[in-house]
Amino acid sequence: MQVAPAVTSVTVGLPPQQVAEQQLKREVEQRVVGVIPNFYVTYEHHPAPLTPRQKFHLGLRTLLDPATFAAAGITAGIQQKSNSYYQYGQGTEGFAKRFGAEYATAADGVLITSVVADSVLHQDPRYFYSGKGTTAQRAWYAVESAFRAKGDNGKWQPPYAGLIGYVAAAEIAQTYHPDPRTQYTLIGRTLLFRSVGLVGLNLFEEFLLKKLTTHTPDVQPAANAPVLREGTPVKLIVANGFGAQGAAAGQTVTFVLAQDLTLNGKVLARTGDVASGLVSQVGAGNAPGEAGSVALRNVMLRAGQVDIPLRSSQVRGAAGPVQEKQLPGSGKVEVTLFVAENVTFPQSQ
């Protein structure tokens, strides 16, 4: 039960890039009625920003999806039946030209806007599902989101990347479509279609598509079930793992809960409940005599039949040292971690 007071920096959790990677794996499984990709919407409460590589991965998964080829084929078939772009002709050759033009247009929009422009200007191409508030509040959020973008810094911004990308993609599409338009009508139609299309799509995302989409995270707790919210501080006392010889990578560190966790007078976790995690990395101090650092992963507090994941920062993805307090007269160390995600407790606990 000895605790080394020299351990002054403990980091728990994953860097934003790894958090985004885990969230992205779930997003590329989202499909409306199990068929149509719904990759460009996140249902996470606190989504991590995407790196340029992850934006490219998301765009490539979209373009290589069978549903994207099918949509281009259906559009080309409709155009051929109505003899749109008559310059392409009819028959197999005419269909192939129409299909190629439609798929190229989709590729232009995804790669230029959602990959290149969003990466260069550090904006996120996804729709951030709300699901909160009244119907009017959610509707306004969906409409408003069509005229703004969330930056990689988490702040709302004017949609520079979307506007520039849409116009650039339209300019390129103009080079291989045989229906010439003036620059004025090209830009005007592009901006009009973008605004109207995004408003409609966002409203569908906010009110309908989540109900039809598979593999979405469960963000709605059961009715009246107590929920321990993400970011809730949890005070723990180090029990073992930080001995006189310090911590070693791969070993288990054990904590005990320093005080009850309560919600509306109901005790969710009791003093003395045990938490544990694995040491993933140990660092020495920068100067002689200076305390080192310990990085932990998979820190979990067991409260009855419920596991509560913990991290070192109140903000998701912002890994940093935890708050530490020496307990007078005991030789023990108290640290404060934070609940890593919303945890729903059964009514009986």
* CATH value of 9-15+222-344 in 2.40.30, 2.40.128, 1.10.3470, 1.20.1740: 2.40.128
Boundaries of every domain in the chain: 9-15+222-344, 30-214
The Cβ-side half-sphere exposure at 348, using a 13 Å CA radius, reads: 2
> What residue has token string 């069509």?
146
Task: Note the pLDDT of residue 201.
Answer: 94
Q: How are beta strands 332-339 and 323-327 bridged, if at all? A: antiparallel
At 181 the three-state DSSP class reads coil
Q: How are beta strands 31-32 and 9-12 bridged, if at all? A: unpaired
Task: Note the pLDDT of residue 2.
Answer: 43
Nearest-CA neighbor of 110 among 180, 20, 173, 48?
A: 173
pLDDT in tens, 272-282: 999 988 877 76
pLDDT in tens, the chain (349 residues): 344 444 445 566 556 787 788 889 999 999 999 999 999 999 987 788 999 999 999 999 999 999 999 999 999 999 999 998 899 999 999 999 999 999 999 999 999 999 999 999 999 999 999 988 889 999 999 999 999 999 998 889 999 999 999 888 888 888 888 865 555 555 666 667 778 889 999 999 999 999 999 988 764 445 567 888 888 999 998 887 665 455 677 788 888 999 999 888 888 999 999 998 887 776 665 555 455 566 777 889 999 888 899 888 777 766 666 666 777 777 777 888 888 888 888 765 5
- Could you tell me the CA-to-CA distances from 224 to 43, 220, 346 in Å, in that order? 21, 11, 10
Task: Note the pLDDT of residue 107.
Answer: 96
Q: Which two tokens stand for residue 242?
A: 């930080």
- Does the pTM of the predicted model rise above 0.75? no
- Whether the CB-CB separation of 332 and 3 falls below 8 Å is answered with yes
DSSP string for residues in 42-78: E--SSPPPPPHHHHHHHHHHHHTSHHHHHHHHHHHHH
Task: Note the pLDDT of residue 3.
Answer: 42
- Whether the CB-CB separation of 26 and 39 falls below 8 Å is answered with no
DSSP string for residues in 260-316: -EEETTEEEE-TT-EEEEEEEEEE--SSTT---EEEEEEEEEEETTEEEEEES-SST
Task: Note the pLDDT of residue 283.
Answer: 66
pLDDT in tens, 207-226: 999 999 998 876 444 556 78
Task: Note the pLDDT of residue 190.
Answer: 62
Calpha distance 257→310 (Å, rounded): 12
Please state whether 148 falls in left (phi above 0), alpha (psi between -120 and 50) or beta. Answer: beta
Nearest-CA neighbor of 119 among 48, 56, 40?
A: 56
Cα four-point dihedral sign 123, 129, 134, 135: positive
Task: Note the pLDDT of residue 187.
Answer: 60
Task: Note the pLDDT of residue 15.
Answer: 65
Calpha distance 129→147 (Å, rounded): 15
- Whether the CB-CB separation of 19 and 122 falls below 8 Å is answered with no
Task: Note the pLDDT of residue 5.
Answer: 45
Core vs surface per residue 322-334: b (16+ CB within 10 A) or e: bebeeeeeeebbb
